[in-house]
């Protein structure tokens, strides 16, 4: 309902995050004991992924609702030297060493480190590893067989959102790549920005000769030292229409010492594969009381949504709009960090959501400072329905709990889980549930969705989505956005 939303009753825990300052934005965390705690190290490439689609379709264009792509930990792509199942450094047999160098073991290790459910669906995960490794025919060196076994192993988790992607499906996911060069960037254990997985085949990064393990020391001439993946995305986002991005890359050879290696500047062409413009907008009404209603629809959270939405808001306000409807009905989500960035167009330096990993470690995501483009005094409604999911719910929850908008329409889908997308060394990928999120007021919407504050206008034609805003009471919305009806949580 539209009643006040008091600050959350639970206290957000503060933790020391492996990777230090990165945590302030959105990454995997660590408690100093298990690296796996470092949940979300957004990789610059497609940074955070927040999802898989509502039905967990096998169609790769719907395989994610976004995160996000959610970055990865420090061991994405090619894994470290094999160890035994206990994680100790005791020597392995020749057979086990060979098994532990396959994509199957790479997938097993990623699940072991980062999967949200640390009971692995009630399975002994080490026993699962042995079971599927014993099925490998190493003499055949058959990638198709390995991927089939990896797929079966991930399915054993019983998680409809986690899945293995072949090369083609992984390439299609690049519509969530916010940089557009096909490289997965992430900090290593020393917080140096690296290429974390083999670049997408045929991408600008691949054609330029970038390899997994290369260090990216500068982007467009700005050093990367001390900066996070989100910082890089924000930097590039300052000129979203730029056709190229220049990365200073250092390749370290086997005989090179620390900080040595082959350094070169690579001018990489940015390409966004057949990405549709997700935003449409118009002045919907000019009412006799002076209310000018701007209507904006966002169909998905792909790499174009933030700049296009910002452009739409600026244009609508320049044409006199003083009330806004943001329609995310039927929007299954998209890049997780896009939802956080879009929230920053409306609220300044505020808690947008909190992410919790499998160890219960909580990490806050905040909106940017100084990026608000919408007049804060203008009433706003976020229009949702039962197919609004994941990143759509992140955005709706962020704006509502910060008293910047009301949620209008029907209860949302209720997807409060976040998936990371990891590149594999054979060019495929792994989509893995790594965390859950809560709204700023501490609401866990998994399975229950966001309950609307007000009902939305109904279409007179069955199965046709109405965009009529004439029945929306913006005077009531303004009251609901203000104290005492709404109290933003302390952040």
Split the chain (491 residues) into runs of 10 and give each run's mean pLDDT. Answer: 35 22 26 30 34 36 34 25 39 67 91 93 96 87 91 97 90 71 78 81 90 91 81 72 90 83 93 81 97 97 90 98 97 87 96 89 89 96 95 96 97 92 86 93 94 85 80 96 90 62
Q: What is the pLDDT of residue 455?
A: 92
- Residue 67 phi/psi, 5-degree rounding, is -25, 10
Bridge partners (DSSP) of residue 249 are 216, 264
- The residue from 203, 303, 390, 412 that is catalytic is 390
Angstrom distances, CA of residue 212 to CA of 182, 188, 215, 251: 12, 12, 9, 9
Threshold 0.85, pTM exceeds: no
Superfamily of domain 279-349+370-416+438-480: 2-enoyl-CoA Hydratase; Chain A, domain 1 (3.90.226.10)
Name, in order, each residue with C-beta under 8 angstroms of 337's C-beta and a sequence gap of 6 or more: 26, 42, 47, 48, 67, 68, 178, 230, 233, 365
The verdict on whether 390 is a catalytic residue reads yes
Domain 20-170 sits in CATH at 3.30.750.44
Angle (CA) 403-405-406 rounded to 5° is 100
Q: How far apart are the first and last CA of the chain?
A: 23
- The residue from 113, 175, 306, 415 that is catalytic is 415
Residue 443's CB: how many other CB atoms inside 10 A? 19
Angle (CA) 405-477-416 rounded to 5° is 35
Hey, what's the torsion of the CAs at 357, 397, 232, 196, to 10 degrees?
30
C-alpha–C-alpha distance, residues 90 and 98, integer Å: 15
Angstrom distances, CA of residue 159 to CA of 164, 287, 396: 12, 49, 25
The verdict on whether 9 is a catalytic residue reads no
Domain residue spans of the chain: 20-170, 183-269, 279-349+370-416+438-480
**Residue 175 and residue 301 in contact, taking contact as beta carbons nearer than 8 Å:** no
Q: What is the pLDDT of residue 195?
A: 85
- CATH architecture of the domain with residue range 183-269: Roll (2.30)
C-alpha–C-alpha distance, residues 425 and 417, integer Å: 26
Give the three-state DSSP class for 467. Answer: coil
Name, in order, each residue with C-beta under 8 angstroms of 303's C-beta and a sequence gap of 6 or more: 175, 176, 177, 178, 180, 272, 275, 335, 338
């Amino acid at each position: 309902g539209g009643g006040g939303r008091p600050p959350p009753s639970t206290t957000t825990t503060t933790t020391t995050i492996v990777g230090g300052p990165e945590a302030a934005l959105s990454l995997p965390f660590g408690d100093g004991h298990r690296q796996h705690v470092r949940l979300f190290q957004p990789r610059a490439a497609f940074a955070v992924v927040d999802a898989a689609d509502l039905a967990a379709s096998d169609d790769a264009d719907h395989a994610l609702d976004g995160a996000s792509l959610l970055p990865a930990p420090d061991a994405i792509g090619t894994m470290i030297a094999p160890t035994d199942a206990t994680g100790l450094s005791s020597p392995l047999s020749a057979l086990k060493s060979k098994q532990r160098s396959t994509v199957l073991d790479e997938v097993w290790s990623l699940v072991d480190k980062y999967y949200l459910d640390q009971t692995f669906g009630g399975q002994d995960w080490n026993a699962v590893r042995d079971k599927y490794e014993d099925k490998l025919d190493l003499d055949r060196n058959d990638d198709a067989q390995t991927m089939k076994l990896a797929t079966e192993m991930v399915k054993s988790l019983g998680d409809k959102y986690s899945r293995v992607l072949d090369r083609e499906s992984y390439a299609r996911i690049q519509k969530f790549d916010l940089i557009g060069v096909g490289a997965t960037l992430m900090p290593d254990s020393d917080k140096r920005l690296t290429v974390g997985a083999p670049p997408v085949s045929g991408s600008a990064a691949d054609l330029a000769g970038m390899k997994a393990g290369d260090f990216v020391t500068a982007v467009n001439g700005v050093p990367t030292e001390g900066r996070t993946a989100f910082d890089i995305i924000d930097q590039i986002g300052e000129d979203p229409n730029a056709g190229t991005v220049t990365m200073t890359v250092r390749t370290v050879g086997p005989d090179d010492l620390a900080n040595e290696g082959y350094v070169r500047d690579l001018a990489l062409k940015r390409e966004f594969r057949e990405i549709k413009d997700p935003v449409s907008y118009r002045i919907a009404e000019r009412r006799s009381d002076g209310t000018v209603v701007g209507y904006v629809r966002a169909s998905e959270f792909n790499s174009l949504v933030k700049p296009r939405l910002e452009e739409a808001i600026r244009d609508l306000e320049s044409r006199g709009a003083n009330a806004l409807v943001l329609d995310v009905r039927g929007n299954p989500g998209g890049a997780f960090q896009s939802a956080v960035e879009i929230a920053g167009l409306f609220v300044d330096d505020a808690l947008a959501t909190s992410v919790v990993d499998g160890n219960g470690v909580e990490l806050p995501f905040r909106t940017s400072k100084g990026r608000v483009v919408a007049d804060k005094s203008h009433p706003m409604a976020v229009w949702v329905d039962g197919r609004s999911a994941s990143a759509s719910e992140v955005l709706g929850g962020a704006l509502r709990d910060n008293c910047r908008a009301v949620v209008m329409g029907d209860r949302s889908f209720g997807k409060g889980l976040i998936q990371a997308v990891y590149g594999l060394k054979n060019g495929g990928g792994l989509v893995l549930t790594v965390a859950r999120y809560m709204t700023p007021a501490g609401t866990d919407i998994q399975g229950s969705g966001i309950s609307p504050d007000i009902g939305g206008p109904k279409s007179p034609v069955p199965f046709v989505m109405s965009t009529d805003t004439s029945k929306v009471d913006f005077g009531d919305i303004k009251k609901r956005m203000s104290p005492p009806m709404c109290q933003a949580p302390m952040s």
